[in-house]
Protein backbone atom coordinates (compact mmCIF):
# COMPACT_ATOMS: atom_id res chain seq x y z
CA UNK A 1 0.00 0.00 0.00
CA UNK A 2 1.46 3.33 -1.07
CA UNK A 3 1.27 6.39 1.10
CA UNK A 4 0.94 9.65 -0.79
CA UNK A 5 1.88 13.12 0.30
CA UNK A 6 -0.08 14.96 -2.38
CA UNK A 7 -2.69 14.46 -5.09
CA UNK A 8 0.12 14.11 -7.63
CA UNK A 9 0.57 10.49 -6.56
CA UNK A 10 4.16 11.00 -5.34
CA UNK A 11 4.91 8.00 -3.13
CA UNK A 12 6.36 8.83 0.24
CA UNK A 13 8.95 6.07 0.12
CA UNK A 14 9.97 7.02 -3.41
CA UNK A 15 10.30 10.62 -2.35
CA UNK A 16 12.55 9.70 0.58
CA UNK A 17 14.56 7.33 -1.62
CA UNK A 18 15.22 10.04 -4.21
CA UNK A 19 15.83 12.79 -1.66
CA UNK A 20 19.23 14.39 -1.46
CA UNK A 21 21.87 12.63 0.62
CA UNK A 22 21.93 15.20 3.46
CA UNK A 23 18.16 14.96 3.85
CA UNK A 24 18.34 11.16 3.85
CA UNK A 25 20.98 11.26 6.57
CA UNK A 26 18.85 13.63 8.64
CA UNK A 27 15.81 11.38 8.25
CA UNK A 28 17.82 8.29 9.17
CA UNK A 29 19.23 9.98 12.25
CA UNK A 30 15.79 11.10 13.39
CA UNK A 31 14.31 7.68 12.76
CA UNK A 32 17.02 6.00 14.83
CA UNK A 33 16.55 8.53 17.62
CA UNK A 34 12.80 7.91 17.57
CA UNK A 35 13.20 4.11 17.72
CA UNK A 36 15.71 4.31 20.59
CA UNK A 37 13.61 6.83 22.52
CA UNK A 38 10.46 4.70 22.19
CA UNK A 39 12.43 1.69 23.43
CA UNK A 40 13.58 3.67 26.46
CA UNK A 41 10.09 5.04 27.04
CA UNK A 42 8.63 1.54 27.36
CA UNK A 43 11.54 0.24 29.45
CA UNK A 44 11.30 3.18 31.83
CA UNK A 45 7.54 2.74 32.13
CA UNK A 46 7.94 -0.88 33.19
CA UNK A 47 10.82 0.00 35.56
CA UNK A 48 8.90 2.77 37.34
CA UNK A 49 5.78 0.65 37.53
CA UNK A 50 7.77 -2.17 39.13
CA UNK A 51 9.46 0.24 41.57
CA UNK A 52 6.14 1.69 42.71
CA UNK A 53 4.63 -1.75 43.13
CA UNK A 54 7.61 -2.98 45.14
CA UNK A 55 7.48 0.10 47.38
CA UNK A 56 3.76 -0.42 47.98
CA UNK A 57 4.23 -4.07 48.92
CA UNK A 58 7.18 -3.42 51.20
CA UNK A 59 5.48 -0.54 53.03
CA UNK A 60 2.47 -2.76 53.65
CA UNK A 61 4.73 -5.45 55.07
CA UNK A 62 6.85 -3.03 57.09
CA UNK A 63 3.94 -1.30 58.81
CA UNK A 64 2.05 -4.54 59.42
CA UNK A 65 4.28 -5.12 62.44
CA UNK A 66 6.73 -7.54 60.87
CA UNK A 67 9.84 -8.38 62.86
CA UNK A 68 12.67 -6.21 61.56
CA UNK A 69 15.41 -8.76 62.16
CA UNK A 70 13.46 -11.47 60.39
CA UNK A 71 12.63 -9.17 57.51
CA UNK A 72 16.29 -8.23 57.17
CA UNK A 73 17.36 -11.88 57.19
CA UNK A 74 14.88 -12.78 54.45
CA UNK A 75 15.78 -9.82 52.25
CA UNK A 76 19.55 -10.14 52.67
CA UNK A 77 19.40 -13.61 51.12
CA UNK A 78 18.52 -12.03 47.78
CA UNK A 79 20.47 -8.84 48.21
CA UNK A 80 21.86 -8.92 44.69
CA UNK A 81 18.37 -8.40 43.25
CA UNK A 82 17.16 -5.86 45.80
CA UNK A 83 16.42 -2.27 44.98
CA UNK A 84 14.20 0.58 45.95
CA UNK A 85 12.73 0.65 49.44
CA UNK A 86 13.87 -2.88 50.23
CA UNK A 87 17.46 -1.92 49.45
CA UNK A 88 17.22 1.13 51.70
CA UNK A 89 15.91 -1.02 54.53
CA UNK A 90 18.66 -3.62 54.17
CA UNK A 91 21.45 -1.04 54.08
CA UNK A 92 20.03 0.87 57.04
CA UNK A 93 19.38 -2.17 59.21
CA UNK A 94 22.77 -3.70 58.40
CA UNK A 95 24.51 -0.53 59.59
CA UNK A 96 22.28 -0.40 62.66
CA UNK A 97 23.12 -4.00 63.59
CA UNK A 98 26.83 -3.38 63.08
CA UNK A 99 27.03 -0.16 65.09
CA UNK A 100 24.97 -1.23 68.06
CA UNK A 101 27.42 -4.07 68.69
CA UNK A 102 30.18 -1.57 69.36
CA UNK A 103 30.70 -0.86 73.06
CA UNK A 104 29.92 2.57 74.52
CA UNK A 105 28.46 3.95 71.30
CA UNK A 106 25.85 6.65 71.66
CA UNK A 107 22.38 6.18 70.11
CA UNK A 108 22.73 9.36 68.05
CA UNK A 109 25.97 8.05 66.57
CA UNK A 110 24.12 4.88 65.58
CA UNK A 111 21.37 6.96 64.01
CA UNK A 112 23.85 9.08 62.03
CA UNK A 113 25.53 5.96 60.68
CA UNK A 114 22.20 4.47 59.65
CA UNK A 115 21.14 7.66 57.88
CA UNK A 116 24.49 7.89 56.10
CA UNK A 117 24.21 4.30 54.85
CA UNK A 118 20.67 4.86 53.60
CA UNK A 119 21.62 8.11 51.84
CA UNK A 120 24.33 6.26 49.91
CA UNK A 121 21.79 3.61 48.92
CA UNK A 122 19.31 6.33 47.95
CA UNK A 123 21.90 7.98 45.69
CA UNK A 124 22.40 4.69 43.84
CA UNK A 125 18.66 4.26 43.50
CA UNK A 126 18.20 7.78 42.12
CA UNK A 127 20.94 7.14 39.59
CA UNK A 128 19.12 3.99 38.48
CA UNK A 129 15.71 5.69 38.26
CA UNK A 130 17.09 8.56 36.19
CA UNK A 131 18.79 6.27 33.68
CA UNK A 132 17.87 7.21 30.08
CA UNK A 133 16.00 10.36 31.11
CA UNK A 134 18.84 12.55 29.88
CA UNK A 135 18.66 10.83 26.49
CA UNK A 136 14.93 11.54 26.24
CA UNK A 137 15.58 15.16 27.14
CA UNK A 138 18.28 15.38 24.47
CA UNK A 139 16.04 13.86 21.79
CA UNK A 140 13.17 16.13 22.75
CA UNK A 141 15.26 19.29 22.62
CA UNK A 142 17.44 18.60 19.58
CA UNK A 143 15.19 16.64 17.17
CA UNK A 144 13.27 19.72 15.94
CA UNK A 145 16.57 21.45 15.13
CA UNK A 146 17.91 18.39 13.33
CA UNK A 147 14.67 18.27 11.36
CA UNK A 148 15.06 21.97 10.66
CA UNK A 149 18.43 21.22 9.09
CA UNK A 150 16.72 18.89 6.62
CA UNK A 151 14.04 21.51 6.07
CA UNK A 152 16.59 24.18 5.19
CA UNK A 153 18.38 21.81 2.83
CA UNK A 154 15.13 20.90 1.07
CA UNK A 155 14.24 24.56 0.57
CA UNK A 156 17.73 25.22 -0.77
CA UNK A 157 17.17 22.45 -3.33
CA UNK A 158 13.92 24.11 -4.35
CA UNK A 159 15.62 27.44 -4.93
CA UNK A 160 18.38 25.77 -6.93
CA UNK A 161 15.74 24.09 -9.09
CA UNK A 162 14.11 27.46 -9.70
CA UNK A 163 17.42 29.01 -10.71
CA UNK A 164 18.08 26.29 -13.28
CA UNK A 165 14.91 26.89 -15.34
CA UNK A 166 13.51 29.89 -17.11
CA UNK A 167 9.88 29.19 -16.29
CA UNK A 168 9.14 27.96 -12.79
CA UNK A 169 6.46 25.33 -12.21
CA UNK A 170 5.25 23.38 -9.22
CA UNK A 171 7.02 20.29 -10.52
CA UNK A 172 10.38 22.02 -10.10
CA UNK A 173 9.89 23.00 -6.46
CA UNK A 174 7.64 20.21 -5.18
CA UNK A 175 10.39 17.64 -4.44
CA UNK A 176 12.47 20.07 -2.42
CA UNK A 177 9.46 21.38 -0.49
CA UNK A 178 8.33 17.81 0.16
CA UNK A 179 11.78 16.95 1.53
CA UNK A 180 11.58 19.94 3.82
CA UNK A 181 8.13 19.01 5.12
CA UNK A 182 9.09 15.38 5.70
CA UNK A 183 12.19 16.39 7.67
CA UNK A 184 10.11 18.75 9.80
CA UNK A 185 7.45 16.11 10.44
CA UNK A 186 9.94 13.39 11.40
CA UNK A 187 11.72 15.82 13.72
CA UNK A 188 8.48 16.58 15.54
CA UNK A 189 7.54 12.90 15.57
CA UNK A 190 10.77 12.12 17.39
CA UNK A 191 10.68 15.12 19.73
CA UNK A 192 7.09 15.22 21.00
CA UNK A 193 6.92 11.73 22.59
CA UNK A 194 10.39 12.18 24.10
CA UNK A 195 9.43 15.50 25.73
CA UNK A 196 6.14 14.13 27.07
CA UNK A 197 7.83 11.01 28.44
CA UNK A 198 10.68 13.00 30.00
CA UNK A 199 8.33 15.35 31.83
CA UNK A 200 6.08 12.56 33.02
CA UNK A 201 8.88 10.24 34.13
CA UNK A 202 10.82 13.03 35.82
CA UNK A 203 7.73 13.80 37.89
CA UNK A 204 7.25 10.10 38.68
CA UNK A 205 10.88 9.75 39.75
CA UNK A 206 10.64 12.82 41.96
CA UNK A 207 7.51 11.49 43.67
CA UNK A 208 9.09 8.07 44.16
CA UNK A 209 12.26 9.56 45.62
CA UNK A 210 10.14 11.64 48.02
CA UNK A 211 8.41 8.44 49.05
CA UNK A 212 11.79 6.84 49.71
CA UNK A 213 12.95 9.81 51.77
CA UNK A 214 9.81 9.72 53.91
CA UNK A 215 10.38 6.02 54.55
CA UNK A 216 14.00 6.68 55.48
CA UNK A 217 12.94 9.23 58.08
CA UNK A 218 10.27 6.95 59.52
CA UNK A 219 12.61 3.95 59.57
CA UNK A 220 15.33 6.02 61.24
CA UNK A 221 12.83 7.04 63.93
CA UNK A 222 12.01 3.38 64.59
CA UNK A 223 15.68 2.49 64.87
CA UNK A 224 16.31 5.51 67.08
CA UNK A 225 13.70 4.32 69.57
CA UNK A 226 15.28 0.87 69.61
CA UNK A 227 18.75 2.35 70.12
CA UNK A 228 17.65 4.48 73.06
CA UNK A 229 15.70 1.57 74.54
CA UNK A 230 18.80 -0.63 74.38
CA UNK A 231 20.92 2.12 75.92
CA UNK A 232 18.47 2.56 78.77
pLDDT in tens, the chain (232 residues): 344 444 444 456 666 666 677 778 888 899 999 999 999 999 999 999 999 999 999 999 888 887 888 988 888 888 777 888 999 999 999 999 888 888 777 878 888 999 999 999 999 999 999 988 999 999 999 999 888 888 887 777 777 766 655 565 656 566 667 777 788 888 899 999 999 999 999 999 999 999 999 999 999 988 888 877 766 6
Residue 5 falls within a domain, yes or no? no
Residue 14 falls within a domain, yes or no? no
Residue 3 falls within a domain, yes or no? no
Give the pLDDT of residue 192.
Answer: 94
Give the pLDDT of residue 1.
Answer: 38
Domain that holds residue 52: 21-231
Number of domains in the chain: 1
Residue 223 falls within a domain, yes or no? yes
Where does 100-169 have alpha helices with state H?
107-129, 133-163
Residue 62 falls within a domain, yes or no? yes
Give the pLDDT of residue 197.
Answer: 95
- Angle at which helices 84-99 and 21-62 pack, to 10 degrees? 50
Cα separation, 65 vs 68, whole angstroms? 9
Residue 115: partners with Cβ closer than 8 Å, 6 or more residues away: 92, 216, 220
Residue 136 falls within a domain, yes or no? yes
Residue 47 falls within a domain, yes or no? yes
Residue 10 falls within a domain, yes or no? no
Amino acid sequence: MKLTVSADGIALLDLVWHASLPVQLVLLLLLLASVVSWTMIFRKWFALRAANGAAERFETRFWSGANLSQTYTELSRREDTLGGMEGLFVEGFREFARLRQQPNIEPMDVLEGVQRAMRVALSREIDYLETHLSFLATVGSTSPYVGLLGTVWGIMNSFRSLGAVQQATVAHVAPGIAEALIATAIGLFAAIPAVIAYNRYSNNVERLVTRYEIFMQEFASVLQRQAFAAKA
